Structure 1
Amino acid sequence: MNDVPMNDAPVNDPRFPGLRRRGFLAVAVAGGAAGLGALALTGCAGSSTAGAPGKADGKPQRGGRLRAAFAGGGASETLDPHLSNLFADVARAKALFDKLADYGPDLSAQPRLASKWEPNAGLDRWKVTLREATFHNGKPVTAQDVLYSYRRITDPKKAFRAKASLEPIDLGASRAVDERTVEFVLKRPTAEFPNVLAAFGAYIVPEGAQDFDKKPVGSGPFRFVSFAPGKSAVCKRNEDYWDGAPYLDELEFIVANEESARINALLGGQVEYAHELNPTTARAHEDQGQVQIVRLRNSAMQSFAMKTDRKPFDDKRVREAFFLIADRKELVDGALSGAGEIGNDLFGKGYEYYADSLPQREQDIDRAKALLKQAGAADLKVTLDTSPVAAGFPEAAAIFRDQAAKAGVTVQIKTGSKDSYWKDILDSGTLCSYRSGAMPIEAHISQRLLTGSTTNATKWQHKDFDDLYQQAQSTKDKKQRTAVYERMQRRLYAEGGFLVWGFADWILGTARNVRGVEAKAPANSLDWARFDKVWLA
Structure 2
Amino acid sequence: MPHPSTSPQMSRRVVLSAASLAVGASSAVLTACSGDSGTGASEPKTGGTLRAAFAGGGADETIDPHRVNLFADAARAKAVYDKLADLGTDMDAVPRLAESWTPDADLTVWTVKLREAVFHDGGPVRAADVLYSYRRIADPEGTFRAKQDLAPIDLEASKAVDDLTVEFVLHHPLAEFPNALAAFGAYIVPEGTDTFDSPVGSGPFKFVSFTPGSEFTAERFDDHWDGAPKLDRIQIVVADEESARINALLGGQVEYAHDLSATTARANEGNDAVVLVASPGSNMLGFAMKTDRAPFDDPQVRQAMFLLCDREELVESVLSGRGQTGNDLFGLGFEHYAADIPQRERDLETAKALLAAAGVQTITLDTADVGSGFTEAAQIFAEQAREAGIEVEINERNADTYWSEVLTEGQIASYRSGAMPIASHISQRLLTDSPTNVTQWHHADFDERYLQLQSTADEADREVLYQQIQQRLHDEGGYLVWGFADWIVGTLPSVHGVEQAPANTLDWARFDKVWMD
Matched, 1:390 2:370: yes
CA contact (8 A) 2:48 2:233 kept: yes
1:153 Cα deviation (Å)? Answer: 3.3
Matched, 1:472 2:453: yes
Out of 197-206 and 248-257, give the one that drifted further: 248-257
Query: 1:11-63: per-residue Cα shift (whole Å, max 9, x none)?
Result: 474434469xxxxxx75699x969xxxxxxxxxxxxxx986226463544444
Matched, 1:115 2:99: yes
Which one has the largest radius of gyration?
1
**1:229 aligns to what?**
211
**1:435 aligns to what?**
416
TM-aligned CA distance change 1:468 to 1:219, over 3 Å: same
Matched, 1:300 2:279: no
The 1-side partners of 2:297 and 2:17 are apart by 53
Q: 1:345 aligns with which of 312, 321, 328?
A: 328
Q: 1:148 aligns with which of 132, 148, 154?
A: 132
The 1-side partners of 2:174 and 2:89 are apart by 22
Q: 1:180 aligns with which of 150, 161, 164?
A: 164
CA contact (8 A) 1:50 1:512 kept: no
Out of 496-505 and 151-160, give the one that drifted further: 151-160
**2:8 aligns to what?**
none
Out of 498-507 and 424-433, give the one that drifted further: 424-433
**1:331 aligns to what?**
314
Q: Write out aligned runs for 1:266-415 (5 A).
A: 266-309=249-292, 313-369=296-352, 376-377=357-358, 380-391=360-371, 392-407=373-388, 409-415=389-395
**1:484 aligns to what?**
465
TM-aligned CA distance change 1:336 to 1:99, over 3 Å: same
Matched, 1:207 2:191: yes
Q: 2:492 aligns with which of 511, 517, 528?
A: 511
SS in 2 for 1:99: coil
Question: Which residue identity lines up with residue 96 of structure 1 in the other structure?
Answer: V
SS in 1 for 2:150: coil
TM-aligned CA distance change 1:500 to 1:15, over 3 Å: closer
The 2-side partners of 1:158 and 1:471 are apart by 26
5+ long unaligned stretches in structure 2? 1-11
TM-aligned CA distance change 1:347 to 1:148, over 3 Å: same
1:314 Cα deviation (Å)? Answer: 4.9
TM-aligned CA distance change 1:462 to 1:271, over 3 Å: closer
1:250 Cα deviation (Å)? Answer: 3.5
TM-aligned CA distance change 1:149 to 1:305, over 3 Å: closer
1:151 Cα deviation (Å)? Answer: 2.8
CA contact (8 A) 1:386 1:416 kept: yes
Question: Which residue identity lines up with residue 15 of structure 1 in the other structure?
Answer: A
CA contact (8 A) 1:62 1:247 kept: yes
**1:15 aligns to what?**
19
Out of 112-121 and 183-192, give the one that drifted further: 183-192
1:78 Cα deviation (Å)? Answer: 5.6
1:315 Cα deviation (Å)? Answer: 4.9
CA contact (8 A) 2:158 2:166 kept: yes
Q: Write out aligned runs for 1:243-262 (5 A).
A: 243-262=226-245
The 1-side partners of 2:471 and 2:210 are apart by 49
Q: 1:526 aligns with which of 475, 496, 506?
A: 506
The 1-side partners of 2:54 and 2:516 are apart by 19
* Consecutive aligned runs of 4 or more in structure 1 exceeding 6 Å deviation: none
The 2-side partners of 1:11 and 1:402 are apart by 34
Q: Write out aligned runs for 1:413-452 (5 A).
A: 413-418=393-398, 421-422=402-403, 425-426=406-407, 430-452=411-433
TM-score (norm 2): 0.85
The 1-side partners of 2:287 and 2:478 are apart by 8
Out of 168-177 and 510-519, give the one that drifted further: 168-177
The 2-side partners of 1:77 and 1:313 are apart by 31
1:382 Cα deviation (Å)? Answer: 3.5
CA contact (8 A) 1:97 1:205 kept: yes
The 2-side partners of 1:256 and 1:461 are apart by 36
CA contact (8 A) 2:419 2:503 kept: yes
Q: 1:130 aligns with which of 108, 114, 126?
A: 114
SS in 2 for 1:289: coil
1:99 Cα deviation (Å)? Answer: 0.4
Q: Write out aligned runs for 1:75-114 (5 A).
A: 79-114=63-98
SS in 2 for 1:203: coil
Question: Which residue identity lines up with residue 524 of structure 1 in the other structure?
Answer: N
TM-aligned CA distance change 1:478 to 1:50, over 3 Å: same
The 2-side partners of 1:58 and 1:16 are apart by 24
Out of 438-447 and 293-302, give the one that drifted further: 293-302
CA contact (8 A) 1:342 1:502 kept: yes
Q: 1:66 aligns with which of 50, 56, 67?
A: 50
The 2-side partners of 1:443 and 1:272 are apart by 32
TM-aligned CA distance change 1:415 to 1:300, over 3 Å: same
TM-aligned CA distance change 1:257 to 1:414, over 3 Å: closer
The 1-side partners of 2:64 and 2:284 are apart by 28
Query: 1:345-379: per-residue Cα shift (whole Å, max 9, x none)?
Result: 10111222111222222223344456667xx34x7
1:501 Cα deviation (Å)? Answer: 0.6
CA contact (8 A) 1:51 1:57 kept: no
TM-aligned CA distance change 1:17 to 1:321, over 3 Å: closer
TM-aligned CA distance change 1:18 to 1:337, over 3 Å: farther
CA contact (8 A) 1:53 1:514 kept: no
Matched, 1:536 2:516: yes
CA contact (8 A) 2:38 2:491 kept: no
**2:5 aligns to what?**
none
Question: Which residue identity lines up with residue 332 of structure 2 in the other structure?
Answer: K
**1:242 aligns to what?**
225
The 2-side partners of 1:504 and 1:288 are apart by 22
Out of 189-198 and 506-515, give the one that drifted further: 189-198
CA contact (8 A) 1:76 1:229 kept: no
The 2-side partners of 1:53 and 1:535 are apart by 14
CA contact (8 A) 1:122 1:474 kept: no
5+ long unaligned stretches in structure 1? 1-7, 20-25, 35-48
The 1-side partners of 2:77 and 2:426 are apart by 26
Matched, 1:194 2:181: no
TM-aligned CA distance change 1:110 to 1:479, over 3 Å: farther
Query: 1:232-265: per-residue Cα shift (whole Å, max 9, x none)?
Result: 4444433433223333344333444454443233
CA contact (8 A) 1:384 1:433 kept: no
Query: 1:387-408: per-residue Cα shift (whole Å, max 9, x none)?
Result: 225343443233223323444x
1:288 Cα deviation (Å)? Answer: 1.2
